[in-house]
Amino acid sequence: MEKERTFHFGWVIVGVCFVTLALVYSVWYAFSVFFVALLKEFRWSRSIGAGAFSLFVIVSSLVGPFVGKMIYSARPHRVLIGGSLLMGIGLSLCSFTQTWWHFYLFFSLITAVGLGAAGWVPTVTLIQQWFKEKRGMAMGIISAGIGIGILICVPSIQYLILQLGWRVAYRIMAVFIPLVVILLAILFVRRPPRLPSHHIETEIPEKTKKDPSVIDEEWVSRSWTIQRAMATKRFWLLTTAFLLGSFIIQSVFAHQVAFFIDCGLEPLFASYLVGPIGIVSIGSKILWGILADRIGREILFTAGVICSILGVLCLILFSQIPAASFPYLYALFFALGYAAHAALAPLIAADFFEGQAYGGIFGMVMFFVGVGGAGGAWFAGFLYDQTGSYLPVFVILIAFAIVSCLNIWKAAPRKIRRMPERVPLNSS
């Protein structure tokens, strides 16, 4: 009975993380609409404006290893509360921006630290503590919360900017988002009643008990730390694959509204095109998560990469042939690719580094992922300033997608663990 109650409350934690990520990452993905408003008012170059987002991504990622550890050592709800409060302060200060370095300080530093402490790494680490079976589904559901943020919050924020101005929009976000996250954290967030057995297994080599899902027992039985993980080739293969994926995703997301406006679309309509990405990513993240419990990671990751490439190809075609169908096809394919990256990255990392050090290791992976995302957002702006076109950027992104896919195959998670649904029935 105790296991049933624990498992049931784990789904409550999933619901809290779902809402938290929807709100917190509306700050992240709303940058594309604030980006247009800030460029219009301050006449910044696109590389200066995108540089703020790049620094934001790096700083929020730097927090990852620390908050990943804090989820184990401190009370999880305190981590989320502290992060959301700091994010609210940063958003409020953003409304007083008068020059580029104000925005860099308020958004790229203060808001970024708050988002990192209340965002992806702490929620993923919390879910990893609560779930062993159906972990893919749980991860898919919480990552779908980000899709809700893209679907609902980004167009809503664009509407607020058009009606009330970008400064008022920041002030509304500064109050509403932290308030909801803090209430949820206080009411529902807690540690699991006891750590799952696999946390203990990473500290004591498995001699008396075998996990039927394990293929490479020598690898899994190691006592992982951040330093030991970083000394392995597989860590860097995974990190490079996810870094390149983030480079692709963030360069497109940061510039998509500006790209569509350059192609002649109205600003509000261009922001609405972000909505279909949210719609598709909501269901597809859950689908990728469910499939991840049944199908090999490499196959799924490859499918996601193919979708990303098709999405970028749609942008290239739209820049040359302004057919109305291409933006929607872009939204469909790129959302599928983005969803695969979001849902699979924490699961693949857990295949290799499951255990009590997972939070810190995954946080370190996400730091490098953040560097990739930051580089992508800045590089797209810089190359646009140099060439006056996003076409060279899109070609580079397709090449990076292929390299990312090859790295996952080289890392070979299939050689570490079986998928949960493939564990032999007669195993005990």
- DSSP secondary structure, 325-378, as one string: HHHHHHHHHHHHHHHHHHHHHHHHHHHHH-STTHHHHHHHHHHHHHHHHHHHHH
pLDDT at 293 over 80: no
275/50 Cα distance (integer angstroms)? 21
- Both tokens of 305, joined, read 């990469």
Average pLDDT over residues 370-380: 84
- Both tokens of 16, joined, read 């809290």
Nearest one of 221, 219, 227 to 198, comparing CA atoms? 221
Convert the pLDDT of each residue in 90-115 to its tens digit.
999 999 988 888 999 999 999 999 99
Q: In this structure, which amino acid lies at residue 232?
A: T
Average pLDDT over residues 31-50: 81
318/305 Cα distance (integer angstroms)? 20
Among 209-213, 259-263, 407-411, 415-419, the minimum mean pLDDT is found in: 209-213
As a whole number, the mean pLDDT across the chain is 83
Average pLDDT over residues 289-302: 86
Length of the chain: 428
pLDDT confidence of residue 211 = 65
Which domains are delineated in the chain? 2-420 (1.20.1250.20)
- What is the share, in percent, of the chain residues with pLDDT greater than 90? 27
